[in-house]
Structure 1
């Protein structure tokens, strides 16, 4: 895939930081802390590891970045997460993360910088939403999940439980 990738031309100093982070760290994380709810997403996982990019909602910037980096480290070691995976290996106290495919219809609303990054190459990059549980270990698609947790992380892929 890297032979099919064409690096975008940086227009600002921030773009140069993105390109440097993708080259140096395997990905760059874009945080949108002022959105309601706040969210963060990766750029570079698809290029460097052939893995879907990641997006997570409803966490403080530092927490979102830490979670994405933990998942990136696992990906860098060869693990591939796919739609429907649930993992208990990242968070304390047996809390789990779920992975759900993000529909292309949501990309323009949430993944603008990633669209810019992959735009010259016309690569249709995949993206997974990283979903976390409430205090009672329920995911937002489960009936009794906390309403605050449901509100804090909109499910981009509608799931029936």
Structure 2
């Protein structure tokens, strides 16, 4: 962990020490970029990748990341490219896909700064539509996921 450069960095460090993780929300961009939220601290606290969620309201994204933190604290492991039925209720699965390292600075800058020279591992959590389909499957009928798919 690097020394805090600002009050925001101090908040990240304090949240990780107190709760095991911090949630960072990134607002939608002016050119149509989708807003997203991500964890900082899963890697340090649970030896798990940081999780990014695109396109959800802040409160919903925070709740999902909180559920991930609870699962990780109980020993759950995040595995990539397989359906995981532990995160959501109602028989819905999620899929985690690794974020390409060349996208870390653009999308996970605060986490990159927090971890300093240590390698960062992050995943995007993909949510299914009401018919249990994912964005890469034919007929997917939920929010656009092009930006999320573009970084994995």
Structure 1 length normalisation: TM-score? 0.85
Number of aligned residue pairs: give it: 148
Q: Give the equivalent residue in structure 2 for 1:25.
A: 19
Residue among 112, 125, 128 paired with 1:133: 128
Return the alpha-carbon distance in structure 2 between the equivalents of residues 94 and 82 of structure 1: 18
Work out the CA distance in 2 between the residues paired with 1:104 and 1:144. Answer: 30
Question: In 1, Cα distance between the equivalents of 2:9 and 2:64?
Answer: 23
Instruction: Decide which of 41, 44, 57 is 1:44's aligned counterpart.
Output: 41
Q: Equivalents in 1 of 2:89, 2:136: separation in Å? A: 21
* 134 and 50 in structure 1: CA distance in 2 versus 1, 3 angstrom threshold: same
Task: Extract unaligned runs of 5+ from structure 1.
Answer: 1-6
Partner of 1:124: 119
Matches within 5 A, 1:96-111: 96-111=93-108
Q: What does residue 144 of structure 1 align with?
A: 139
Once the two structures are TM-superposed, the CA of residue 23 in structure 1 deviates from its matched residue by: 0.8
RMSD of the alignment, in Å? Answer: 1.6
Partner of 1:83: 80
1:154 partnered with 2:151: no
Preserved CA contact (<8 Å) 2:25 2:38: yes
Residue 73 of structure 1 and its aligned partner are, at CA, apart by 0.8
User: CA–CA distance in 2 between the matches of 1:129 and 1:22?
Assistant: 20
Q: How far is the alpha carbon of 1:130 from its aligned partner?
A: 0.5
> Normalising by the residue count of structure 2, what TM-score does the alignment of the two structures yield?
0.89
Structure ranking higher on relative contact order (CA contacts 8 Å, 6+ apart): 1
